[in-house]
């Protein structure tokens, strides 16, 4: 039996940071302390903040909701949860139902906003149009744009001063590599642990408390504390995403060469510090159609709405 490096109990996980095996209790406190440290060290949340927690119902966002609820008393901030119903039959509906149950158990208010009501079309309907037009744009691209737009707008309208998302180390490494492969430098500069870099009065600063935590560790943590994670269904459109094969490739690489994901993030942080110092803070413009923040004349949401034939 492998025992914990800090006591004699049975080990349940290995920590690459500590180079040690950990029992259930030590893994839980190690995990929670790392998230707390990230929040404190990088000043992600200040006393008096009103934090909107973006939840999908997956292990990362539920873990984040659980921990932010747990820390809120000592750190003196208030929080509520928001989720977006994309309108994917057999997926969004089940997910939202599970979330309502979880938020209720944690005593957190959950606000649900839908593509259908706010954008004018569900993702299922949008995908039909994309299909007819030869998938020039993929469902995930449109979904991501609409979701970010609605998250920011909903959080702001509900008075949030921060918008917390459950992105973890794996997500950040994947997004960085995708942006690098596309040569999308502005996207790389904008993405980070806290997105205060791009300024606009209507933009709620986004924070990522799980930024340095590998997906695998959150999976272990969520199981150890018994979170009721939504696992039943996978989004049917994931197969169209470029991220899908990249995720598998990165996982294989990590398995053969441990710490690859940490190294990708370290490289990203180095590039960010060099680029941000040179360019200074970016002031985002305003979409001429909807009035929401946009780095182009018309925001991506209005562009895709027009493309899909939705009245703007």
From the list Zn ion, ligand SF4, none, which binds 13 (C-beta under 5 to 8 Å, kind-based)?
none
Nearer to ligand SF4, 30 or 146 (CB): 146
For Zn ion, what does the binding mask look like between residues 231 and 270, x meaning CB under 5 A? ----------------------------------------
Coil/strand/helix, residue 193: coil
Question: Tokens 């873990």 appear where?
Answer: 63
Q: What are phi and psi of 124, to 5 degrees?
A: -60, -45
Q: Which of 240, 289, 295, 307 binds Zn ion (CB under 5 A)?
A: 289
Min dist. Cβ of residue 151 to Zn ion (A): 15
Both tokens of 256, joined, read: 């053969």
From the list Zn ion, ligand SF4, none, which binds 302 (C-beta under 5 to 8 Å, kind-based)?
Zn ion
C-beta separation of 162 from 203 below 8 A: no
Nearer to Zn ion, 69 or 295 (CB): 295
52: left (phi over 0), alpha (psi -120 to 50) or beta: beta
Nearer to ligand SF4, 21 or 91 (CB): 91
Nearer to ligand SF4, 34 or 138 (CB): 138
From the list ligand SF4, Zn ion, none, which binds 144 (C-beta under 5 to 8 Å, kind-based)?
ligand SF4
DSSP state of 194: B
Q: Which of 207, 251, 257 is nearest to 68 (CA)?
A: 207
Nearer to ligand SF4, 79 or 140 (CB): 140
By CB under 5 A, is residue 287 in contact with Zn ion? Answer: yes
**Piece of 70-78, 166-174, 194-202, 298-306 that binds Zn ion (CB under 5 A):** 298-306
How far apart are the C-alpha atoms of 262 and 213, rounded to whole Å? 9
Min dist. Cβ of residue 306 to Zn ion (A): 10
By CB under 5 A, is residue 145 in contact with Zn ion? Answer: no
Min dist. Cβ of residue 127 to ligand SF4 (A): 8
From the list Zn ion, ligand SF4, none, which binds 287 (C-beta under 5 to 8 Å, kind-based)?
Zn ion
DSSP state of 12: -
From the list ligand SF4, Zn ion, none, which binds 191 (C-beta under 5 to 8 Å, kind-based)?
none
Nearer to Zn ion, 176 or 303 (CB): 303
Per-residue exposure over 123-150, b if at least 16 CB sit within 10 Å of its own CB, e if not? bbebbeebeeeeeebbbbbbbebbbbbb
Both tokens of 88, joined, read: 């994917």
Both tokens of 80, joined, read: 């509520």
- Exposure on the CB side of residue 97, measured as CA atoms within 13 A: 10
Q: Which helix (H) or strand (E) holds 285?
A: strand 285-286
Q: What are phi and psi of 291, to 5 degrees?
A: 85, 5
Nearer to ligand SF4, 175 or 299 (CB): 175
How far apart are the C-alpha atoms of 237 and 178, rounded to whole Å? 18
Nearer to ligand SF4, 86 or 217 (CB): 86
By CB under 5 A, is residue 272 in contact with Zn ion? Answer: no
Torsion sign across C-alpha atoms 272, 273, 274, 279: positive
From the list Zn ion, ligand SF4, none, which binds 289 (C-beta under 5 to 8 Å, kind-based)?
Zn ion
What residues line the site for ligand SF4 (CB under 6 A)? 86, 139-140, 143-144, 235, 237-238, 241
Q: Which of 290, 295, 307, 310 binds Zn ion (CB under 5 A)?
A: 290
List contacts with Zn ion (CB under 5 A). Answer: 287, 289-290, 299, 302
């Amino acid at each position: 039996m492998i025992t914990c490096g800090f006591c004699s109990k049975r080990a349940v996980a290995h920590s690459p940071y500590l180079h040690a095996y950990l029992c259930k209790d030590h893994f839980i406190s190690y995990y929670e302390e790392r998230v707390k440290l990230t929040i404190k060290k990088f000043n992600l949340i200040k006393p008096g903040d009103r934090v909107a927690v973006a939840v999908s119902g997956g292990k990362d966002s539920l873990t984040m909701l659980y921990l932010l609820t747990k820390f809120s008393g000592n750190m003196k901030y208030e929080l509520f949860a928001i989720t977006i119903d994309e309108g994917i039959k057999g997926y969004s509906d089940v997910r939202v139902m599970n979330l309502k149950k979880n938020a209720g158990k944690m005593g957190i208010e959950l606000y649900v906003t839908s593509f259908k009501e706010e954008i004018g079309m569900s993702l299922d309907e949008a995908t039909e149009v994309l299909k007819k037009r030869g998938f020039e744009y993929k469902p995930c691209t449109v979904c991501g744009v609409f979701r970010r737009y609605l998250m920011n707008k909903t959080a702001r309208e509900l008075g949030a001063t921060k918008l917390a998302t459950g992105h973890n180390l794996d997500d950040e490494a994947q997004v960085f590599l995708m942006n690098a492969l596309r040569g999308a430098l502005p996207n790389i500069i904008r993405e980070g642990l806290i997105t205060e870099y791009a300024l606009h009065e209507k933009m709620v600063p986004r924070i990522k408390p799980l930024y340095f935590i590998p997906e695998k560790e959150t999976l272990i943590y969520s199981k150890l504390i018994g979170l009721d994670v939504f696992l039943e269904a996978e989004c049917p459109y994931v197969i169209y995403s470029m991220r899908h094969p990249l995720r598998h490739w990165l996982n294989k690489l990590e398995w053969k060469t441990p710490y690859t994901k940490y190294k990708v993030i370290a490289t990203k942080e180095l590039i960010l510090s060099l680029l941000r110092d040179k360019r200074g803070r970016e002031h985002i413009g305003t979409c001429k159609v909807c009035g929401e923040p946009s780095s182009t004349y018309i925001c991506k949401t209005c562009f895709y709405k027009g493309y899909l034939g939705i009245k703007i």
